[in-house]
Chains A and B, each alone.
Chain A
Amino acid sequence: MADRMEITVNGKTVGVQKDSYLLAAVTDAGFEVPTLCHHKDLTPGGSCRLCLCEVEDGGRKKLVTACNYPVRGPVTVRTDTAEIAQHRKILAEMYLGRWPGVPVVQMIARECGVTTSRFASEITDDAPNACILCGHCVRACDEFMIERVLEFAGRGIKRHLTMPFGEVDHHCVTCSSCAYVCPTGAIEIVDDKNRPLDAKAIRDHGMKVNAEMATLDSKQCRMREVGTANIVDVMDAYDLLPVHNYKFGKHPEAKKLYSTTLKAEYFTQGAADACWRGCSMACAKAVDGFTLKTGPYKGQQVLVDGPEYETAAGAANMGCFDGDFCVEFNFYCDTYGIDTISAATAIAFAMEVFEAGVITTKETGGIELRFGAADEALTLLHQMADGEGFGVDVGQGIRWMKEKWGKDGEHAAFLQDIGMEVKGLEFSEYVTKESLAQQGGYGFAIKGPQHDEAWLIFMDMVNKQIPTFEDKAEALHYFPLFRTWFGLMGLCKIVWNDVVPADNAVQEEAHKIPGHVRNYWKFFEGLTGIELDEQKMLDQSARVYNLQRILCRMLGFGTRKDDMVPYRAAGPVTREEYESRADRYDGQLADVVGVDPAGKSTEEKMKILRDFREGQYEKLADAVYRRRGWTEDGVPKVETLAALGIDLPELVEVIKADQ
């Protein structure tokens, strides 16, 4: 948390954050200080010297450049003494002598009381868009884009801006950050290859995200530093990290998979790494020189792309709290073309089934597939890829395994409860027991329980922002449509909410991150010329979303029964789970369900809790279908299609029997 302190500026007491720069404190307090080289979104340069201020610290006075002077004590500051004014006046006259035609130099000179200069010389450049060597572009290239294409060369009056060796550098991704921050127009964009309707609008809104990444990411999600793996630590802290096939939400050994551990021991590139060059977030990470211990490439050193959150959390779900395992599992899933989420969730399910005694080494071909059996999990992964042994069964997925091992009837109900799949797709890696809305986020998702439609756990479980069924249904209407929309546009989700504008908290509907939603609209408008608002965006998306639901119907899914989640997603299936969080569940029985848990057995309490939670999910389904304009069985109504302008005969034909 921030250390707040007070300083005195021109006699006024000002609150500042310790180690913040003096210039920000001074200007926030309402005092104007001239500067040419400072930019609010870039690291201070301190080169123009115009922001000189007098700082008195412990009785000693000194002149400092305010832009890069960190405040560390209760100093007394003066911004406009006669000595400072004289310094600035001379500096301004020198700048005006060299670049007399540049508007921003003229303006600064006027502020300093200078209108003419005695310093014209052979290096005077009269051009109104002359480069004034402020260094904004150099810093933007480095800090916005993590490139160093631009740099200064030469000394003294020969100092100039250049690319390495004076040649066009192929590392330049033409992001235009340099032009965006240039205060004179010295860097001009002369070509927009994709010929969008309004390239400047697209660039300007993209630059907002670049600036946020440069200034906020290190204090927010650390996407450049550790990527999505930052969530491992958070999910473990909030009891949301899946452990042992989603039985639990945290584990004492989970620290072995934390982003801090991954960074310290595995992310050997030590720098940001983008999935495409030019992305300022650059959240993809890599492990260099990793020596494989198993499989067809055993003993070889390889480059591994990842691990991301889902892969690390998948390792926790299998009880394999081992970084080496996580990276190797990641490599082989990528190499085999197997999804790390489905593989981890399916293996975690098989592990629990094995531990419960439903299957034995007879079915597994001798593999002791217990939670935490990392070597065995890798063996199974290789078998899945090779189409051999027990890997053939696990590779079919959870729905297939449930049917195979439950067909005798004895274990069918248990397998259904713990088999974390919906519509045949495995759950991604979040524990949803305490968030009804997120159970719906998974259950009602068109493609099955992936996390790309709605991630509502914090809104629902932690923030308590959506307490009613209607609130949750509204969230399960808006977010799937919004997230489907930017997926349709080919726009990345990460820059929506993995960095957040500094003023987001005080915006209306802050949970939607409205500043970033507007960025997306401006990208669309800049490309097409079509202005968007929320309703237009949602309508665009709803046409596709409803079409997808109808396609589900054509494939034999897409009704209420297909949206039901296994009970493990909603509550404790086993006695072990209930008793591990007995205080929580007992408290909910008393406070929410209205049943006194005293004197009841664990099994009795589990039954009461289950009846309640399953009933809640049904009520949520009713509310969600109403909000989406679907029937009680979860099929789009013809009138909904008509309102969206997609009541095509061939679509109506598919759903007319369901009306």
Chain B
Amino acid sequence: MIRVNDTNVEWRSGMTVTLALEAMGYDFPLISVFVNEQFVPEIDHDSFEIPDGADVKAIHIHHGG
């Protein structure tokens, strides 16, 4: 299990940042991702594997308004 923005998400081996964002339904273009407080650049979202138990912050830069 990992936590993405304080929500439990089922972890599986090889789970990348991209897969975690898909699991949350996050497709906003301005998302900054931190895994256990380490910033993961967008270029690495497809390859960065999230470890089990990780705390993931997917920060949507607020928009609208």
| A interface residues with partner B (beta carbon < 8 Å) | 1-4, 15, 17, 219-221, 231, 234-235, 237-238, 309, 428, 430, 451-452, 454-459, 462-465, 467, 493, 497-498, 500, 504-506, 510-511, 513
CA distance A237 to B47 in the complex (A): 25
Q: Residue B30 contacts which of A1, A17, A464, A500 (CB distance < 8 angstroms)?
A: A500
Q: Residue A455 contacts which of B39, B57, B63 (CB distance < 8 angstroms)?
A: B63
- The size of the chain B interface, using a CB distance under 8 A, is 26
| Contact (Cβ within 8 A) A1 B46 | yes
| Contact (Cβ within 8 A) B59 A220 | no
Complex: chain B residue closest to A15, CB-CB: B43
- Among B1-59, those with CB < 8 Å from A are 5-6, 18, 25-30, 32, 39, 42-47, 57-59
| Contact (Cβ within 8 A) A463 B39 | no
Residues of chain A contacted by B27 (CB below 8 angstroms): 237
| Contact (Cβ within 8 A) B59 A465 | yes
| Contact (Cβ within 8 A) A1 B45 | yes
Residues of chain B contacted by A231 (CB below 8 angstroms): 63-64
Residues of chain B contacted by A513 (CB below 8 angstroms): 61
| Contact (Cβ within 8 A) B18 A452 | no
| Contact (Cβ within 8 A) B29 A221 | yes
CA distance A511 to B25 in the complex (A): 21
| Contact (Cβ within 8 A) B18 A510 | no
CA distance A328 to B54 in the complex (A): 50
Given contacts A2-B43, A4-B44, A463-B57, contact A220 B64 (CB under 8 A): no
Most buried by A among B29, B32, B58, B61: B61
20 A–B pairs (Cβ distance < 8 Å), ordered by A: A1-B18, A1-B45, A1-B46, A4-B44, A220-B29, A220-B30, A221-B29, A221-B63, A231-B63, A235-B64, A237-B27, A428-B65, A430-B64, A451-B65, A454-B65, A455-B63, A458-B60, A467-B6, A493-B65, A497-B61
| Contact (Cβ within 8 A) A504 B5 | no
| Contact (Cβ within 8 A) B44 A219 | no
| Contact (Cβ within 8 A) B39 A505 | yes
| B interface residues with partner A (beta carbon < 8 Å) | 5-6, 18, 25-30, 32, 39, 42-47, 57-65
- Pairs A-B, 10 closest by C-beta atoms: A455-B65, A505-B32, A451-B65, A458-B60, A2-B43, A458-B62, A464-B6, A17-B43, A455-B64, A1-B18
| Contact (Cβ within 8 A) B60 A463 | yes
Residues of chain B contacted by A220 (CB below 8 angstroms): 29-30
CA distance A1 to B31 in the complex (A): 12
CA distance A456 to B61 in the complex (A): 10
| Contact (Cβ within 8 A) A506 B42 | no
Complex: chain B residue closest to A239, CB-CB: B25
Given contacts A2-B43, A463-B58, contact A510 B32 (CB under 8 A): yes
- Smallest CB–CB gap between A654 and chain B, Å? 30
Residues of chain A contacted by B39 (CB below 8 angstroms): 505-506
Residues of chain B contacted by A463 (CB below 8 angstroms): 5, 57-60
Residues of chain A contacted by B64 (CB below 8 angstroms): 231, 234-235, 309, 430, 451, 455, 457
- Smallest CB–CB gap between A481 and chain B, Å? 15
CA distance A360 to B42 in the complex (A): 54
| Contact (Cβ within 8 A) A457 B62 | yes
Complex: chain B residue closest to A475, CB-CB: B62
- Smallest CB–CB gap between B56 and chain A, Å? 11
Q: Residue B63 contacts which of A1, A15, A219, A497 (CB distance < 8 angstroms)?
A: A497
| Contact (Cβ within 8 A) B61 A3 | no
| Contact (Cβ within 8 A) A234 B46 | no
Residues of chain A contacted by B63 (CB below 8 angstroms): 221, 231, 234, 455, 458, 497-498
- Smallest CB–CB gap between B45 and chain A, Å? 5
Residues of chain B contacted by A506 (CB below 8 angstroms): 39
Given contacts A237-B27, A462-B5, contact A455 B46 (CB under 8 A): no
Other contacts beyond A219-B29, A220-B29, A497-B62: 7, CB < 8 A: A4-B43, A231-B64, A430-B65, A452-B65, A455-B65, A462-B58, A510-B59
Most buried by A among B25, B27, B63: B63
Q: Residue A504 contacts which of B25, B26, B32 (CB distance < 8 angstroms)?
A: B32
Complex: chain A residue closest to B5, CB-CB: A464
Residues of chain A contacted by B28 (CB below 8 angstroms): 234, 237-238, 458
- Smallest CB–CB gap between B24 and chain A, Å? 9
| Contact (Cβ within 8 A) A2 B42 | yes
CA distance A57 to B49 in the complex (A): 30
Complex: chain A residue closest to B43, CB-CB: A2
Residues of chain A contacted by B32 (CB below 8 angstroms): 504-505, 510
Complex: chain B residue closest to A456, CB-CB: B62
Residues of chain B contacted by A511 (CB below 8 angstroms): 59, 61-62
Complex: chain A residue closest to B62, CB-CB: A458
CA distance A220 to B28 in the complex (A): 9
Residues of chain A contacted by B62 (CB below 8 angstroms): 455-459, 497, 511
Given contacts A219-B29, A220-B30, A464-B6, contact A4 B61 (CB under 8 A): no
Complex: chain A residue closest to B28, CB-CB: A234
- Smallest CB–CB gap between A626 and chain B, Å? 24
Residues of chain B contacted by A456 (CB below 8 angstroms): 62
CA distance A565 to B57 in the complex (A): 30
- Smallest CB–CB gap between A622 and chain B, Å? 24
CA distance A220 to B18 in the complex (A): 17
Complex: chain B residue closest to A506, CB-CB: B39
CA distance A463 to B32 in the complex (A): 10
Residues of chain A contacted by B45 (CB below 8 angstroms): 1-2
Residues of chain B contacted by A505 (CB below 8 angstroms): 32, 39, 59
Residues of chain A contacted by B46 (CB below 8 angstroms): 1-4
CA distance A505 to B47 in the complex (A): 19
CA distance A657 to B61 in the complex (A): 42
Residues of chain B contacted by A493 (CB below 8 angstroms): 65
- Smallest CB–CB gap between B60 and chain A, Å? 4
CA distance A134 to B36 in the complex (A): 45
CA distance A452 to B64 in the complex (A): 10
Residues of chain B contacted by A3 (CB below 8 angstroms): 46
- Smallest CB–CB gap between B5 and chain A, Å? 5
CA distance A455 to B65 in the complex (A): 6
Residues of chain A contacted by B42 (CB below 8 angstroms): 1-2
